[in-house]
């Protein structure tokens, strides 16, 4: 899917890898996403299995501008960073969240976690 003025950084396979990794973590990991088509930012959620993939549909990944994952301890942060780094995920580590980017504005530099 193309959005004018944006470049895609992620594909369905990469989103699926993140989803599979997150459902395997025993701790409650809060997340939210921003939709490219509607600019809607979801509420924080801990339910990865059913809610992250709308109706189990991989096409729901196609409009994710970013995924934000919240952590509340250094231990969880390190676990998340390790997982996302191994996947070579485009994003950034912030003070208490990690953002993985599906799209960025053209001409913007994005590093990998």
Q: Backbone phi, then psi, for 10, in 5-degree steps?
A: -125, 160
| Rounded mean pLDDT, 72-87 | 97
Asked if residue 53 is part of any domain, the answer here is yes
State the total domains in the chain.
Answer: 1
pTM for the model: 0.91
Instruction: Identify the residue whose tokens are 């109706």.
Output: 55
Q: Identify the domain containing residue 77 by its residue range.
A: 6-105
CATH number of 66's domain: 3.30.1240
Asked if residue 55 is part of any domain, the answer here is yes
pLDDT single digits (tens) 19-69: 999 999 999 999 999 999 999 999 999 998 877 765 555 567 889 999 999
Task: Return the pLDDT at 62.
Answer: 86
Asked if residue 112 is part of any domain, the answer here is no
Q: Is the pLDDT assigned to residue 109 strictly greater than 90? A: yes
């Amino acid at each position: 899917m193309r959005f004018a003025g944006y470049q895609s950084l992620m594909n369905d396979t990469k989103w699926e890898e993140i989803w599979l990794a997150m459902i395997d973590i025993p701790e409650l990991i809060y997340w939210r996403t921003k939709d490219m088509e509607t600019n809607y930012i979801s509420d924080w959620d801990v339910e990865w299995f059913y809610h992250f993939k709308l109706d189990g549909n991989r096409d729901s990944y196609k409009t994710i501008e970013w995924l934000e994952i919240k952590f509340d301890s250094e231990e969880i942060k390190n676990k998340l960073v390790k997982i996302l780094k191994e996947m070579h995920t485009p994003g950034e580590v912030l003070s208490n969240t990690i953002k993985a980017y599906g799209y960025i504005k053209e001409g913007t530099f994005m590093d990998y976690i």
